Amino acid sequence: MKREIYDEDHEAFRESARTWIERSVLPHTDEHIAAKALPREFWLDAGKNGMLGLQIPEEYGGSDAGDYRFQAVLQEELAKVGAAYPTCHGIHADITVPYIVDLGTEKQKQRWLPGCASGEILTGIGMTEPSGGSDLAALKTTAVRDGDEWVVNGSKTFITNGYSGDLIVTAVRTDPEKGPKGITLFGIEASKEGFSRGRKLDKVGMEESDTAELFFENVRLTDDDIVGELNMGFIHMMQKLPQERLGCAVANVAHAKQILVETLQYAKERKAFGQSIGNFQHNKFLLAELFTQIEVAEAYMDKCVAAHAEKQLSAVEAAKAKWWSSQVQSEVLDACVQLHGGYGFMNEYRVARAWRDARVTKIWAGSNEIMKELIGRELGL
């Protein structure tokens, strides 16, 4: 079925994104896996080619695309390379940067956004804590007033871009008595005294993504470092989470679709018992089911992207997109591994890495159980 969400301008940008990826990303994927991170050269090259500033106004060095669909196109193309690429890129350009664009002061925008667009400043979002998981309202990292300064103590974990990030937009508790209404966002630069990082976390998948623990020991900040309003951090996060979850959903479907296309080709070429394995009725029916699943999921993602481009996507619709896309992704990739047989369990095959990489998508950006809880509440349950 022909997709109708993207016009000629979006498809022209898709070609530009593909050209950049083929030239600057694909030749280095093995290096990225070995380094367990995307090097600064990746970010600088992305910035040079206009791949980091789609949501940044022109006066701060971005291209200000003014249409979320361009970001969705880039997420899809990066997902075809591997799940870690839209993840790391998305955390920076699609998740963290919009906090600064939409909530930052003029001084903060001038201070941070040009570097974010060029790749000289890499960002991350500091939400998750060792004891909190998906429960953002229960965070324990604190910022305590000391004269004209704030003193931050605590830690974060599972932070994408955390090991190499230069700026972490971090959620901290500024008023312990107010619960969720006592949380504030701070832009914490890695150069601040008292800021430190743990090791790169050893994950099951997404090896190209640098994921780390962050520690704050008497980090001193000022009101100039507050992103948004004092004690409004939880509200700000709730307002931004739908875009984060939609970005995840777009990448989930595109990632699974690419591996499924490659698996179809494998099923046509792989011979067993005198014929292609795709000709066996079970495999033929299975592939028919998988392609249908992907196309139906893609149609819903397109509807959500179109709605978000018009600023009409609700938090519940984004939650549906996030949990459903990750579930479909998981089912499709598991079947693709099975169709590859023993080769599907070998790391040298993309399907094996894709299968491992995809498992976390049912956990992050709010676990699928939390997504269902949000949907259930909307149903009045």
The residues assigned a catalytic role are 244
How many angstroms separate the CA atoms of 251 and 297, rounded?
A: 12
How many angstroms separate the CA atoms of 241 and 91, rounded?
A: 12
How many angstroms separate the CA atoms of 205 and 337, rounded?
A: 15
Residue 100's H or E segment, with its range, is helix 97-103
Q: Show the beta-strand stretches assigned E in 232-372.
A: 271-272, 275-276
Instruction: Identify the CA nearest to 349 among candidates 331, 361, 359, 337.
Output: 337
- Token pair recorded at residue 38: 């995307």
How many angstroms separate the CA atoms of 93 and 71, rounded?
A: 9
Q: Which amino acid belongs to residue 241?
A: L
Counting Cα atoms < 13 Å in the Cβ hemisphere of 200 gives 18
CB count, 10 Å around CB of 373? 15
Burial environment of residue 113 by CB neighbours within 10 A (0 to 12, 13 to 18, 19 or more): buried
As a residue count, the chain comes to 381
Query: DSSP character for 94?
Result: I
Backbone angles phi, psi at 102, to 5 degrees: -90, -25
How many angstroms separate the CA atoms of 187 and 253, rounded?
A: 32
- The residues, ordered by sequence, that sit 6+ positions from 182 with a Cβ below 8 Å of its Cβ are 173, 174, 175, 176, 231
Q: Which amino acid belongs to residue 150?
A: W
